[in-house]
Structures are given as C-alpha cells and as structure tokens.
Chains A and B, each alone.
Chain A
Amino acid sequence: MNAGKILLVEDNPDDVALTMRALKSHNITNDVIVAQDGVEAIDYLFGTKGRPAPTDLPAVVLLDLKLPKINGMEVLQRIRADERTRLLPVVILTSSDEERDIIDGYSLGANSYVRKPVDFVEFTKAAQQLGLYWLLMNRTPPPPRGP
C-alpha cells in the first residue's frame, strides 16, 4: 500500500475521532496527521523554528473551513501560493454546503469539496471513499525539485 499520509485539518475532536474511526474501519492504515487549527496546519507544511518542514508532503489534505486562528480558506490560499505545495491535493471536508464556500473553495484551487454527512454511516462511507480515492487511485504530482 502507498505510504502517503493524510493531513487532517480539523478543530473538532469529535470529528477527528469519528474520521479516524471511519478511516481505520476501512483498513486505511496510512498515517493521519491531525492539525487542530490553521496555524498548526501551516506550521506542519512549512515548518517552524524548532521543527523543519517534512521532506515528504502528505498525499492529501482534508481541510475543514471553520477553524480557529486561521480559517480553512486562508490555509488553502497559503498552500497554493507556495511553490512547494501549490500542486498538493486539497479536499475541503466541512459541515456547510453554502454556495459561497463551494465557489470560494474551488476558486482558490481546491481539488474537491465534500460535505460531512450527519448520518455516521454515510460519513463513514464518504471517509472511506475519500481515503481510497486520494491514497490509492489518485496519482500525486512529483515533488518539486529543490532550489
């Protein structure tokens, strides 16, 4: 199985737990890195003073929109603005299906927009499909050459 990782950007611990459960129950064993807000996500992707950026980018970012400190749209903007991460697959996974959010998300370069179903059975299906698709079926772009 592909060694790709999932970066889950989600501030709600319940949603984190349910997502992890859904992924695990479908034998998606890849590492799931959890960032609890936008700042953490950016720190992870671009590194901080104490810890350098990871050498390998995650296979996909599952990005919630309503986040403390820096919201999901801004995180997406930063990802697309950076040469190293601009092709990184980003799936918006959020509660809302506000038209405004969908349009903004795609405008900023999201690869997909998925609304979290309330029904956990549906939710599990969605998480499974996402995992399968982005980790197994989807081909990630090659890492950009270093400067």
Chain B
Amino acid sequence: MSIRDWPIKRKLTAILLLISGLVLVLTSVAFVTYEVVTFRQTIQTHLATRSRILAANSTAALAFANEADATEILAALRYDPHTVAGALYDRNGRVLATYPARAAADLIPGAPEPDGYRFEGGRLVAFTPVAQGANQRLGTLYIASDTKAVSDAIRLSGIIAIVVLAIALLAAYALAAALQGRISAPILALAETATAASTRQDYSLRAPKFGEDELGTLTDAFNQMLGRIEDQKQELQQHATRLEQRVADRTKELEHRNEALRRNAAELLAANNELDAFAYSVSHDLRAPLRSIDGFSQVLLEDYATQLGDGGRDSLQRVRAASQRMATLIDDLLKLARVTRAEMRTEPVDLSAMARDIVVDIQRAAPDRPVEFAITPGLEAQGDSRLLRVVLDNLLRNGWKYSSKRPQARVEFNALEENGERVFVVKDNGAGFDMRYADKLFGVFQRLHSAAEFEGTGVGLATVRRIIDRHGGRIWAEGVVDQGATFYFTL
C-alpha cells in the first residue's frame, strides 16, 4: 500500500512519530557531541594540571640531571590508570627518565615536540615546559594518556541517548496514537456518514460534530448539504408521486375511453354484421316475391290475353314494370350497402386507364350513340380500385346519360390543382341541374329529373359520395340547366 493510501490514523501517527523522532535524534546528537567535547576538555585540563604539577616537581631533578629522582617523580604517574607513558627531557632534548622506568622505545618520542596538548594516534599527549623562574627553561615533560576515558564517556552518553530516544519515541507514539484521534475521529466520522449516506441513499443521516474548529465547520457544511439533499429528495419524491398519480389518472381515463371505444367498435361491428345479414337477406328474399308478381302477370298476359282486354293488359304491364323497377331499386340499394361494407384496400390506381375501360363498356352497350369522351391520360390516385371504379362508372355513365339529348354530346375527365390539392373533374354538356337543388344531388333516392326524362333510381350519386367519404375525400357539383354538369372530387 502506498503511503498515499494509508488510513488517516496511520498517516497522522507516522507524521507525529517522524517529527518527534527527528527532533529527538537531533537533540541526542547534540547531547552526545556536547558530552564528548566537554569531556575531552575536562581530560585535557586534568592532564595539563597534572603535567604542570609534575613539571614543577621535576625542576630540581632536571637542574641536577638526577635520573633517579626524575624516575621517582615520574613513577607517581602510576596512580593514574589512564597514563600510559611519561618522560622527562633535559634542556638539550635528551631523555632523562621515563615512565614506566623501562618503557618500550616506541612509547617515548625520541625528542621533545613543541609544547602543547594534542590527540595523537588514540592518545592524548602533552609536552609541558619545565622551567626555573620565569625564563630559565630546564627541559620538557612528556605525558601520554590513553583515550579510553573519552570513549567510555562517548559510549555512556550514546547509551543514554539511545535509551532516552527509545523511551521518548515510545512516549511520542503513545501520545500520537492518543492525540491523532482528535483530528482523525471527526474525519473518520464524516467519511463513515458520507459512505453510509451514499450507499444506503439515506440522507437523513448526520455526521457527529466534535468541536468548533475547521473540521467542525466542514461537518456543519456537510450536514447542511445532506439536509438540502434530503429536502430536495423529498420534493422530488412528492413530484414523482404527483406525477404517478397524474399518470394513473390519465391511464384510468384512457382506459375508460378505450373501453368506450371498444364498446363503440363492438356496436359498430354488430351494426355492420346486422347490415350484412340484412343485405344478404334482402338480396335473397326481397326479389323472390317480385319475380312471382312479374312472372304470374306475364302468365296472365300470355294465357288470358283475350279475356283481359286492353285495360287489363295495360294494368298488368304496369304491374310488371313496377316490379322490375322495384328490383332495380333493390339492386342499387344493395350496391350502396356493399360500398359501405366492403373492405378497403388502398393502392395506386390509374384513373385514366380505368375511365377508358368504362367508356369502352358504355360505347359497346350503345354503339349508335356518338358521344365524345375526352380523357386526360396519366391521372393517378391512391384508393381502392374496385370502389373507385364504381365512382368513375357512375359519373361517366351519368355524363353519358344526361347528355343523351345533345346532338354533340361530350364528356370530359381531367384534373386540376386547387390549393395544392388534386381535384378530379367529370364534366358533361348535358341537361345540367338547378344549383338551388345541388345539395340534394347526393341524397339517397333524390332525383332532379323524372324517370320519364332520364331513368334512374337516385342511388348512384349517393353511392359515389359514400365511396368518396370512405376515401376521406370531398365531392361537389356545379351545374347550369341545359348547359351541363361538372362533378369535382378529391381523394
């Protein structure tokens, strides 16, 4: 684990120990250095004192070059266990006496060196002048002392320093461990609260405050933030609840509406099915009696023609005409019903081609009528081709039918653009109609001409309108009596 990732407790303890350790080590080094320096000065002073006493005592022996005395004096050095060697040199630098009396040659320098004290090869050596009065130099005293006392002193102060260091560090560690809590505890509590709040999403938690220091301020700020988050969360929750309620309300409302729609659809389906059954029944059952009426009228006309007389025959012919007309009406009504019931299949339809087809049919049925059909090619639309064929068939046949009294009958099929919308136009130059009755044109069984003038049931245009309605389009007509009629439709 890198130091960066250490827990705060450990970091604080480590910092405290590092600082106190550094201070203690510096202090110990200073202490030991001071000890050593002081001790060396002390031994030097002691040696100087002893040397000066011995030098003073040696003046007589040197003045008389009395070797025995000199040796005797030097022997006193044995009372100092640290003194390893000593020597007296005469005025000419020759050795007069040594300590120990028969000292090894390497212990005693051959000639006196300059006066003074110095540490030399692990020893402290002192060359002290021996003088009579102020100026009369008699010789030099040499004393060498080992430095064991110094190293002993260094060792001792080192040991003391190490022991003190250890105790102080231990104490520092104990104190650091005890005191780091003051700083780390609020931080740890803060961290714990933050973790708990974020993992449990519980923003009602509050971090405990330990004091009024910066950590206390931090804790306060953190708690305030939690409080604000809690408030906002509550507000959000309230919004969400209100929203859910609204969604639920809307859903319920929609369900009600859907239910109503389903009911309507079911009702419509039922009505449609009923209409279907009704139409089916009509197509089978309503024509049968008409057949009987027409058939037996014909039987009467064939078998009892003479008995009936002109009046009777005329009446029966009228009965027959009426029943046949009734049959046509029924057929047209069934067509209208079929248009309503038929399933729509939307596809692109070439209306021009369809119109040409229908015209061929019309002309084949009545080749002796010279009617000019003008069909603009390439008119296309989207729609159910079968139903659109019924539309065009009705409109073109109407044009053909109502222009029958014109010597130069003409029927047109084209299209124009009106407000960006394509409007298809079927126009004839026939009987036309009075615009006052324009709104009646598309009603079931509504006719603007008598059957004697132009035959018809008044169902065709109603059927056309129904189909246009089912395509979502509009249909309207313009007409002038005896000038012609124009039908417009959109899809």
> Are B284 and A118 neighbours in the complex by a CB distance under 8 Å?
no
Pairs A-B, 7 closest by C-beta atoms: A118-B327, A120-B298, A120-B295, A14-B292, A96-B283, A18-B295, A95-B287
19 A-B interface contacts by CB (under 8 A): A12-B292, A14-B288, A14-B296, A15-B291, A18-B292, A18-B295, A21-B299, A65-B284, A66-B284, A66-B285, A118-B287, A118-B294, A118-B323, A118-B326, A118-B327, A119-B294, A119-B320, A121-B298, A123-B291
With a cutoff of 8 Å between Cβ atoms, the chain A residues found around residue B320 in the complex are 119-120
Chain A: minimal CB distance from B451 (Å): 17
B280 located at the interface, meaning its Cβ lies under 8 Å from any Cβ of chain A in the complex: yes
B287 neighbours in A (Cβ, 8 Å): 95-96, 116, 118
A: interface residue count bin:
20 to 34
Contacts of A96 in B (CB 8 A): 280, 283-284, 287
- Determine the distance from Cα of A21 to Cα of B303 in the docked complex, in whole angstroms: 12
Interface residues of B in 128-184 (CB under 8 A from A): none
* Contact partners of B288 in chain A: CB under 8 A: 12, 14-15, 95
What's the nearest-Cβ distance from chain A to residue B338, in Å?
8
CB distance from A23 to the nearest CB of B (A): 13
Any A CB within 8 A of the CB of B352: no
How far, in angstroms, from A14 to B298 measured CA to CA in the complex? 13
- Interface size bracket, B side: 20 to 34
What are the interface flags for A6-39 relative to B under an 8 Å C-beta threshold, 1 for contact and 0 otherwise? 0000001011001001000000000000000000
Chain A 36-70 residues near chain B, CB threshold 8 A: 65-66
Whether the pair A118, B291 counts as a contact (CB closer than 8 A) is yes
Cβ of A100: which chain B residues have Cβ within 8 Å of it?
280
Q: What separation, in Å, do the CA atoms of A19 and B71 have in the docked complex?
A: 185
Interface residues of A (CB under 8 A from B): 12, 14-15, 18, 21, 65-66, 94-100, 116-121, 123
The distance from the CB of A111 to the nearest CB of chain B, in whole angstroms, is 21
| A71 shortest CB reach to chain B, Å | 10
Contact in complex: A95, B324 (CB < 8 Å): no
Instruction: Evaluate contact between A95 and B294: CB separation under 8 angstroms.
Output: no
A95 adjacent to B299 (CB under 8 Å): no
**Identity of the chain A residue whose Cβ is nearest the Cβ of B330 in the assembled complex:** A118
Q: What is the CA–CA distance of A61 and B323 in the complex, to the nearest angstrom? A: 28
Q: How far is the CA of A15 from the CA of B295 in the complex (A)?
A: 9
**Contact (A14, B284) CB under 8 Å given A118-B323, A118-B324:** no
